[in-house]
A and B are shown apart, each in its own frame.
Chain A
Amino acid sequence: MRATTNRRRSMVSGLLVATVLLAGAALTGCASTVDSRADYIMTRPLPADVTAKGVVLAAVLLASGDIDNAVGNGLVTPAEVDTAKTAIDQDLLEYWKQRAEKESAG
């Protein structure tokens, strides 16, 4: 009987540990999602038709101009507008700005 109880306690403890570990992993995963996106934006090689400055400019033109006209005049590329739009949507524009500033300084 005591052996059974000990096994149960052991199982419950194991489950608790596993639960805590899983929860921790999940929380870490959530926290790292934004960080990993930021790292990705800040460090990855960009396609040839995208620059960080172009993304920031596209965002500015989305906020103040006629974006179709902007592409038609060669001010920004379609890929930069796509990226800027997604970045604004997902609150990631700051990282593009940081990359642009880094590249501008470099």
Chain B
Amino acid sequence: MKHSTKAMVALLAIPALSVGASAVAAHAETGSASSVVDASLSTLGMTISDPTLLAEITSDVQSAIDAGVVDPTVEPTVEPTVEPTTEPTDDAAHDNGLHLGHLHDQFDLWSMASPMWNTAFETIRVDFETCVAGADPSVDCSAQTLTALQLAHADVLTNSYDELAAGIAALPVEEQAFAQAYLDRQMEHAQKRLTHALEEYATNPDGTSVTLTPKILAQINDEIVAIGGHGHGNSLGSHHGNDGTSDTDADEDSQGDDSDTDADTDAETSTDETVPGDSSTTAPTGVTDGASDGGHHGGNSGGNPGGSGNHGSHGDD
């Protein structure tokens, strides 16, 4: 993960600039998961008629809100304030009348993040399969997987912080405050997640076995220390003096549910088969049945990467 620092500078700077500068609390009064889904589907020019699927998506979006992934007070159809660096591959989206402000930002974000995440995910997948194959009842493979994902995210933030901060310093003054606040909230979230992971999984409730490996525990501790070194107050003062920025509480509050963010992400990955219109066209390499099945169901038992969560149900097929 440490190889992608430069990409992450741009990766994090873009949403900091564009989302933040223009996002407004357009539907704060209706900031429920349902309203977020409705607005998002409208942005995408799509409707979901199946009530079961709609309920599942809404539930997943609620989980995303709880995890701070979605800010329900932010209108998803805001216009961009920064021109996207990568245009969509065709104009179909424009033709559909989509409002591509936030979507473009996220496209740019993901264009840079995708290689890094796929690489990280492959490592996490292998670790998960190894864990499942070990069939050690004292080891919670799902918890390990989620923690590994959070570690990967925190690692990126930590290693990118100084460059991101330098990039923010180059912004117009009126945009610096928001961008710095955005970055600091990200750092704070990462630290909270890692602290939670350390507290939650280092010792079982009954005080017995440690569910994480010493290696991961050491990594968590290192990341917490590293993130702490880039703390909000320190960073604002030492880097840019944007102390006037006030952190919003929305994201921070959402972290209270971190214990519920044991998503059931499969710790598996796939490679691109380069079929137009479909980037997930190859079978994953070395996918075990246990890993695949685990992605569907709740519970923190081994075989369910990412765990006990209420989130997506990945990993079938």
Kindly state the separation between the CA atoms of A79 and B267 in the bound complex, as whole angstroms: 11
Chain A residue at minimum C-beta to C-beta distance from B72: A64
A44 in contact with B281 (CB, 8 Å): yes
Chain B residue at minimum C-beta to C-beta distance from A60: B40
B110 in contact with A62 (CB, 8 Å): yes
- The verdict on B209 contacting chain A, using a C-beta distance below 8 Å, is no
Stretch binding the partner chain, chosen from A1-9, A12-20, A23-31, A69-77? A69-77
Kindly state the separation between the CA atoms of A101 and B272 in the bound complex, as whole angstroms: 25
- Nearest CB on A from B4, distance (A): 12
Chain A residue at minimum C-beta to C-beta distance from B309: A74
With A79-B279, A86-B277, A90-B276 already in contact, the answer to whether A51 and B316 are too (CB < 8 A) is: yes
B316 in contact with A101 (CB, 8 Å): no
Contact with B along A81-106 (1 / 0, CB 8 A): 11101111111111001001100110
Q: Is the interface of A mostly helix, strand, loop or mixed?
A: helix
B263 in contact with A88 (CB, 8 Å): no
The tally of residues in A whose CB lies under 8 Å from a CB in B reads 56
Kindly state the separation between the CA atoms of A57 and B71 in the bound complex, as whole angstroms: 15
- The verdict on B223 contacting chain A, using a C-beta distance below 8 Å, is no
A75 in contact with B69 (CB, 8 Å): yes
Name the interface size band of chain B: 35 or more
Q: Which of A64, A73, A92 contacts B263 (CB 8 A)?
A: A73
Chain B residues closer than 8 Å to A61, beta-carbon distance: 40, 61, 64, 69-70
Chain B residue at minimum C-beta to C-beta distance from A95: B277
Kindly state the separation between the CA atoms of A46 and B49 in the bound complex, as whole angstroms: 23
Contact with B along A18-53 (1 / 0, CB 8 A): 000000000000000000010011001111111101
Chain A residues closer than 8 Å to B49, beta-carbon distance: 101
Chain A residue at minimum C-beta to C-beta distance from B39: A64
- The verdict on B253 contacting chain A, using a C-beta distance below 8 Å, is no
With A48-B292, A89-B90, A90-B90 already in contact, the answer to whether A75 and B114 are too (CB < 8 A) is: no
- Nearest CB on A from B217, distance (A): 19
B263 in contact with A50 (CB, 8 Å): no
B106 in contact with A67 (CB, 8 Å): yes
Chain B residues closer than 8 Å to A76, beta-carbon distance: 265, 312, 314
Chain B residues closer than 8 Å to A59, beta-carbon distance: 40, 44, 46
Chain B residues closer than 8 Å to A67, beta-carbon distance: 106, 109-110, 113
Return 13 A-B CB contacts under 8 Å, by A number: A47-B282, A63-B103, A64-B102, A71-B113, A72-B150, A75-B311, A77-B266, A77-B268, A79-B118, A79-B270, A85-B111, A88-B93, A92-B277
A residues apposed to B, CB below 8 Å: 37, 40-41, 44-51, 53-57, 59-83, 85-94, 97, 100-101, 104-105
Other 13 A-B pairs with CB < 8 A, given A68-B109, A86-B89, A90-B92: A40-B275, A48-B270, A49-B121, A49-B270, A60-B44, A61-B69, A66-B109, A72-B150, A73-B64, A73-B150, A77-B121, A82-B280, A83-B279
